[in-house]
Amino acid sequence: MTTTGTETWVFGGTRIDSIGRHAHVWLRVETGQLLWFAARGAFTLGCEYTVQTTRRDDGRVIKHGDPVYRGWHADTAVRRRLAALDGTDYRRPADPTAVQA
């Protein structure tokens, strides 16, 4: 069943995904689920935003339009953890034993 609705997310910063692209990470407040999207727009790390979404049967989440700012997320520990990971590179490091010809 596909559902469309409004959710509250916390902006978790920018990361480098597994193939080297910049991505924005969002924390879904209701469940603690981390969601990754292509980096588009400017948002404040640790702040809550209202987001229009569609959740598909296959597990995909589609974000519609621009998230709307709501204010700082109340849990400072969550904000600190997200800030500590901002800019993290999730690509696998090169294998130091690999030989290039």
The CATH code of the domain that includes 15 is 2.40.50
Q: CA 37 to CA 49: how far, in whole Å? A: 15
Q: Is 12 part of any domain?
A: yes
* Mean pLDDT, residues 15-43 taken together: 88
Residue located via tokens 């990971």: 85
Question: What local confidence, expressed as pLDDT, does residue 86 receive?
Answer: 78
Q: Where are the beta strands (DSSP E) in 17-82?
A: 22-28, 34-38, 47-55, 61-72
Neighbours of 47 (CB within 10 A): 16
What's the pTM value of the predicted model, to 2 decimals?
A: 0.80
Q: Is residue 54 included in any domain, yes or no?
A: yes
pLDDT per residue over 67-76, tens digit each?
999 999 988 8
Let me know if residue 25 belongs to a domain. yes
Cβ neighbours around 64 below 10 Å, total: 11
